[in-house]
Amino acid sequence: MKPRNPKTNSRQGRERRREKPVGVGELAGHVFDSAPGRQELCREESEPKELGFLQLCMERRFHRIVQEKFEELSGLQPHDYWSHSDAGGAPKMEPEENRAKYAYDHGARHMGWSAHGDGCGGFKPPFHPHEAGDDEIRTALLATLMKKVFLYPEASHYAIFATKDAQGNASVWWRGPVRQDG
């Protein structure tokens, strides 16, 4: 085995330190440069006739069933509405009005408020004083729905609650449309 030469190793170390660091702009250019065949052109969706907003829990188990029910109830397609998700769904995001207000101010007239049971992480400590059951979460969702009806009076509102049934299948419960004027 060849002995290590301390002078060579230290010179290599100094040379490495002299290399110019890559700037953020340069890095971004490398990241977003696409080689031919790696770029995909997408068709921009036409402007929908109606718009909506859906606020739901970030829990992956019930995402699609909630979205499908909202689309069925509202008549909207996936690209026709804004969505906002976080732990606990609409009841836990009630004070966060900026996203819903943005959508409403930009024409959303179908508004979905959702939560789920079967062990929602947003309704367990440290986000909630105790682990809430399905009935407590559903009650919180209905209270949220009633507040939103008055905040966004020109919209049709939907409460959508997903959980598992006795056989372990996802099931969905809903109320709506609810409107302030009707």
User: pLDDT, tens digit, for every residue of 96-147?
Assistant: 899 999 999 999 999 999 999 999 999 999 889 999 999 999 999 999 999 9
Q: Please name the residues in contact with 25: beta carbons below 8 A apart, sequence gap of 6 or more.
A: none
Nearest to 100 by CA among 172, 155, 173: 155
pLDDT over 60 (residue 36): no
Residue-averaged pLDDT of the chain: 85
- CA trace torsion 137, 179, 57, 136 (10° rounding): 0
